[in-house]
Amino acid sequence: MAFLEQRPLPTHGYWGDITSSLLWCEEKYRWTRYIAEPANTISNLFFLALALYGARSCLAHDLPLRFLLVNLGIALIGIGSLLFHMTLKHEAQLLDELPMIYTSLLLTYAVCETTKRGQKKRFKVLLPATLVLAGAGVTAGYVSGIYVRHGLRAWGE
């Protein structure tokens, strides 16, 4: 079976050199030069399917906007993670990690804000403002390099 025989792994793929700070367990560019980690890349299609199903359910049941936004966040996680595992580029890593932060913040709001549509909001300003500031702070840390990324890099090292 020729397709199973061992061959040297390429040092980079179609997207150029690997620039991400994380490397997962899959052998890089083993099957194609276009996808660095096929299993991790393809598995993110399930995030997209789940998000589309959830968004459709939100619209069908006339749920508050916060639930639709959570599903769109899940879709962004799927897209960003797909791009990251396909390319292993630093920029795509940000598209993978930051949507996870943003969606976690959206989920926090969705869980804490329990009012139904048309009712007075429990958290009118303080919680949303706090979550937006937290997201902005994390984003600034990621972009500036003053952050700890999975314990691997701190203060722009």
Structure tokens at 12: 């980079």
- Is 31 annotated in a binding site? The answer is no
* β partners of residue 35: 32
Taking a C-beta distance cutoff of 8 angstroms, is the pair 122, 114 a contact? yes
Structure tokens at 145: 């390099």
Q: How confident is the model at residue 100 (pLDDT cuts 50, 70, 90)?
A: very high
This prediction has a pTM of 0.78
Give the tens place of pLDDT for each residue, 7-41. 556 667 888 787 777 777 777 777 888 888 888 89
* β partners of residue 148: none
Q: Which amino acid is at 125?
A: V
The pLDDT of residue 151: 47
- Is 157 annotated in a binding site? The answer is no
CA 84 to CA 94: how far, in whole Å? 8
- Judge whether residue 3 has pLDDT over 60: no
Which phi and psi (to 5°) does residue 35 adopt? -130, 115
Counting Cα atoms < 13 Å in the Cβ hemisphere of 84 gives: 25
Structure tokens at 7: 């061959």
Which position has the token pair 């919680």? 127
- Is 37 annotated in a binding site? The answer is yes
